[in-house]
A and B are shown apart, each in its own frame.
Chain A
Amino acid sequence: MKSHTISVLVENRAGVLSRVAGMFSRRGFNIESLAVGTCEEPDMSRITIVVNGDGSVVEQVMKQTNKLIDVIKVSDLTERESVERELALIKVAAEPGTTRAEVLQIADIFRAQVVDVGAKTLVLQVAGDTDKIDALEKLLRQYGIKELVRTGKIAILRGAKTVKSSK
C-alpha cells in the first residue's frame, strides 16, 4: 500500500467533480486528498487525487476514472519525475512576546509567510510538499493551532513532458 498521485484532466462542466469523486467513494477507493482547479485550457479542469492502494487497486481506479465520459486523461504521477505542492493556512496562537518571536522564527525556517496578525494569533501561509507541511504543523501544535486548512496536493510533471489530452 502506498500513496499514488493521480492527475485527471476533465471537461470543465458542472457536475464533473461529483462524477469523479462519486465513482471513487462508491467503489470503495479511499481519497486521501483532492484538489481541483481550471488549467491552461479554459474548457478543461485538472483534478489531482491522492489515493492509497496497491498496484492493482490503483490500476482499477485509473481505468474506472477513465471510463467517465467527461474524463479526458488520467495519469499516475507517482513513479514519474514531478513537482508536488500543497498550500496550508495555519492560524496559530502567538501571544506578543517570546511565543510570537518563536513562531515567527519557525515560520521563517519553513519559509512560511505571515498573512495576518491578530492580537493573540498569527496566520501563516505555507506551500510545499506534504511532509514539509506536516512537519510545520507538528512544530506549531505546541503553541496551539486554532484553525488549519489545507488545499490538498497538486502535482505537475518536471521538464517538457505534460499531461495533455491525447486520447
Chain B
Amino acid sequence: MKTGAKTLIEALRREGVDTIFGYPGGSVLPIYDELYDSSIRHILVRHEQAAAHAADGYARASGRVGVCLATSGPGACNLVTGIATAYMDSVSIVALTGQVPTGMLGNDAFQESDITGITMPVTKHNYLVKDVADLDRTVQEAFYIARTGRPGPVLIDLPKDVTTSHVKSGEAAPGPVSLRGYQPTYQGHVRQIDKALDLIARAERPLVYAGGGVVHSGASAELLEFAEATAIPVTTTLMGLGAVPGDHPLCLGMLGMHGTQSANYAVTECDLLIAVGVRFDDRVTGKIETFAPNAAIIHIDIDPAEIGKNRAVDVPIVGDVKAVLQALLRRMQKHGDTANWVARINTWKAQHPLRYRDDGRLRPQYIIRELSDLLKGEGIIASEVGQNQMWTALHYCFRKPRTWLTSGGLGTMGYGFPAAIGAHFARPDLPVVDVAGDGSFQMNIQELGTVAQYHIPVKVVILNNMYLGMVRQWQELFYDRRYSYTELPPVDFVKIANAYGIEGIRVEEKDGVREALSAALAADGPFVLDFRIEREENVFPMVPAGAAINEMIGVHQE
C-alpha cells in the first residue's frame, strides 16, 4: 500500500521530472513530505507566481515539461498569472496544486479555491483528482497533453485526502495514453503541401513569417534549409527570435509594432507570405486589412483554430511545423527566382539599419549590443516586459532557438527573472541573463532570495530609467507627455542585492558597460547590474496602434 503522494512522485519520476519549482503549504504537506525523500530536486521560490514562471523558463529553455507546485487557495491563485503566460505562449508546464479534502470541497473551507474553475480559460486542460485510483493515469495524461500537439499548461488539483489515502500496491503503470477527444494532426495534408509548393514556385516576392511554433516544434534546421534552398527571406515574430540565426543574410529580424523597417516593408510588398507557426497577433499585423495586402497566404500550424482566425488563408496546412517543412523539402521540385526581391530587401536593410543615438551617453541599445557581442549567441536571455524587452529583441543577435525567453502573448511584467531561474536548471551549461526594467524587476524582486539561497548564477541587467518606460513612451507619443503615474522613485538595486548577499554594480557611464557586463558574466554566482540609462529613451521603430505596419514612426532617429 502506498500513498497518493508517493504515487504522484513516482508518476512524476516516470515522466522524467528532475526539478520542481514550488512553495509549501498545508494542503500539500503530504506531497512535500514525500518530496523530502525523493530524488526530485525542489527549488523553493519566494512567491508562487515565480514558481510558474520558473517552470515556464525551464520548459522554454529545454523543450521539456516544466513543473510547479503550490498549495491550495492563495498558493494556487498565485500561479494563475504564470499559467496564463504559458498558455498565451504555448509552453508545456504541469502545475500541481493542493486542494482541501474532497469532503470539504465546495464548503468555502479554509484556503479553498476552485482552481480548476479559475484556470479553465488559461489551461490547455485541467483536472481535479477525486479518487486516488485515478492519480497515476491523470499525471500521465497531463504530461501527454502538455507536451503534444500545440503545447500548453495543464493543471492537476490534488485534494489533501487523495494524497494521503492509499492505493493498492503492485499495480502496473498505466498503458499508453489514448484520448478520443484529443488527437493532434502532425502530418500536413499532401494535397495542401503540393498547393503550397505550386505557389512557392510561382512567387516572385515570397517571404517567410516564422513564429514560436518553429521553436516549439524544433524545426529551426528545417526552416533554415527551406529558406536557403528557396532563397526566401525570413522575418520572425518576437516569439520566433532565434528560430533562424539573427545574422543570417536571409534574416530580416522581427516584424510588427516594433519590427525592423526591412521586415515591415517586405511584409507589405510580398506576393506570398508563408506563415509558419504563427498566429497573426495584432502586435504583429497592425491594422489587419493592410497586413501583407497583396500576398497569397500559406499558413502552417498544428492548431487548426489558428488558421483563418485573424486572416483568411489561401493554403491552410494543419500539422507539426517540422513535419510539414520536411514534407515541403521532400516534395519540392522547383522554386521561383527571388534574386531581384532579395536585392530589394538588401537595399532596405542597408538603407534602414536599426539605429540609435550614440552621443556618449548611456543608452540601453548600446548595453544590449555589448551584451550580444560578449555572449555571441551562446547563452540564454530572458526579458521582462516593456522597453527592455523590445530593445533586447531588436539589438541582441539571437542565433539559436530556445535562447530567448519572453512573455510575448500575455506581456507579463515580472516574468523574466524567475524564468531565468528556471532556464538555469534546464541548461546549467549556459550563462543566463535577465534583461529587466526597474519597474518589471520590482514585480518579482523577491526572487533574489531564491538565487541567493541556491547560488544560481543568473545575471540581472537592469535598464533603469526610473519610469515604467513603455507606458511613459506611449504617454509621450499619444498622451501629450502627461506622465500619469509612470515615474518611479530611484531604487538602490545594488544595496538590495547586497542585502540578499548578492554582488552588484551600478553603472552610470557608457565607458563602464563592457567591464561591468564582463564582471557579471565572469562571476560564479548571481549578479545584479543597475544601468542608469537615459531616462526618456524610446523604442523605435514603432507602428502606432491601428496603423499599417509600414507606417512606422521614429525611423530616422540619429
Contact = CB atoms under 8 A, between A and B. Distances in A.
A15 B116 contact: yes
Interface residues of B, number: 18
Given A59-B308, A63-B304, A71 B120 contact: no
Among all A-B residue pairs, the 10 with the closest Cβ atoms? A63-B305, A69-B125, A72-B181, A69-B182, A71-B181, A64-B305, A26-B121, A72-B180, A63-B304, A70-B181
B181 A10 contact: yes
Nearest to B306: A63
Interface string B399-430: 00000000000000000000000000000000
Given A15-B116, A19-B120, A22-B120, A167 B180 contact: yes
Given A15-B116, A18-B120, A167 B308 contact: no
> A interface, by DSSP: helix, strand, loop or mixed?
helix
B180 A67 contact: no
B55 to A, nearest CB: 20
A69 B181 contact: yes
Interface of A: 10-11, 15, 18-19, 22-23, 26, 56, 59-60, 63-64, 66-72, 165, 167
B179 interface: yes
B309 interface: yes
Interface in B160-196: 179-183
B125 A56 contact: no
A11 B180 CA distance: 9
Nearest to A22: B120
A67 to B, nearest CB: 6
A69 B124 contact: yes
Contact of B179 (A10, A56, A63, A69): A69
A91 to B, nearest CB: 33
Contacts of B182: 69
Interface string B101-141: 00000000000000011001100110010000000000000
Given A11-B180, A68-B181, A167-B180, 6 more contacts: A10-B181, A18-B117, A22-B120, A22-B121, A26-B121, A64-B305
26 contacts: A15-B128, A18-B117, A18-B120, A22-B121, A23-B121, A26-B121, A56-B308, A59-B308, A60-B308, A63-B304, A63-B305, A63-B309, A66-B304, A67-B303, A67-B305, A68-B125, A69-B124, A69-B125, A69-B179, A69-B182, A70-B181, A71-B181, A72-B180, A72-B181, A167-B180, A167-B183
